[in-house]
Amino acid sequence: MAEITTEEGRAMIAGHFGFAALVKSRERQAPLWALMLATAWLDIVFVPLFAAGVETITIVGRPGGYGAGIIHADYTHSLVGAIALSVVFGLAFGWRWGSRTAIVLGLVSFSHWVLDLLVHRADMPLFPGHDLNQFRFGIGLWRYLWTAASLELLLVAMGAWLYWRAARAITLEDDKARQRARLVSLLILIGGIVVLGLDVSGFGG
């Protein structure tokens, strides 16, 4: 069994943000910043737990490499933990923004677990404390670097494109707003590609 280390592996980042932009194109009343925050919520909670040594990463490939870790994140990335955190996130905004937006934000938060399900190396348990020898979720696309990276790139590209289509539709009569919409769409695309590039290349620590 590999030694559990605190060395950081590189996980899916850009793809989650691409998915949030995609949702924005369908749920136009939901603020994009809240959707972006929702899609990263499980990892945001993971960071302090990782720093405290509560959740850890076992490196199984190139140290610091893309998808090179088995992530022991039983509180944030177990099925029950992800549902609980997503409900908390939805409720935190729902009291102010209404039930529909709360549900959308909660589902976007949970989409993080669903997308991680595709790439994680069978390391996501059913609930915290789930026996290590029992079944864990994770299809393991990280074993196929370019397949996983292509999936993320596709999410970023689709998110930027659908966001642009939706933003263009609401800025038909306002050139300045349309220029801003174009800028945001490009930033989603370019930012996603840069973050994915840093992730895959291992550049930047």
Where on the chain is the footprint of another protein (CB under 8 A)? 10-11, 13-14, 17, 20, 24, 28-34, 36-37, 40, 43-44, 47, 95-98, 101, 167, 170-171, 174, 177, 180-181, 183-184, 187-188, 191, 195, 198-199, 204-205
- The least CB distance from residue 40 to another protein, in Å, is 5
CB atoms within 10 A of CB 165: 12
Nearer residue to another protein within complex by CB, 49 or 198: 198
Query: In the bound complex, what is the minimum distance in angstroms from residue 129's beta carbon to another protein?
Result: 26
For residue 73, give the nearest of 94, 98, 47 by alpha carbon: 47
Q: How far is the CB of 33 from another protein (least distance, A)?
A: 3
Our CB check for another protein shows the closer of 34 and 117 to be: 34
List Cα–Cα distances, 117 to 48, 75, 93, 122, in angstroms.
Answer: 22, 15, 26, 8
CB of 54 to another protein, least distance (A): 17
Are the C-beta atoms of 137 and 118 separated by less than 8 Å?
Answer: no
Residue 135's SS3 state is coil
Residue 27 CA, distance from chain mean position: 18
Answer whether 193's CB lies under 8 Å from 18's CB. no
Of 64 and 140, which has the nearer Cβ to another protein? 64
Smallest gap from Cβ 161 to another protein, in A, equals 15
Q: Of the two residues 87 and 198, which places its CB atom closer to another protein in the complex? A: 198
Q: Which residue, 22 or 40, is less far from another protein as judged by CB?
A: 40
Output the CA–CA distances (angstroms, integers) from residue 205 to 9, 53, 123, 201, in the order listed: 10, 19, 24, 10
Q: Where does the chain have alpha helices with state H?
A: 14-26, 32-51, 79-97, 99-119, 145-170, 175-201
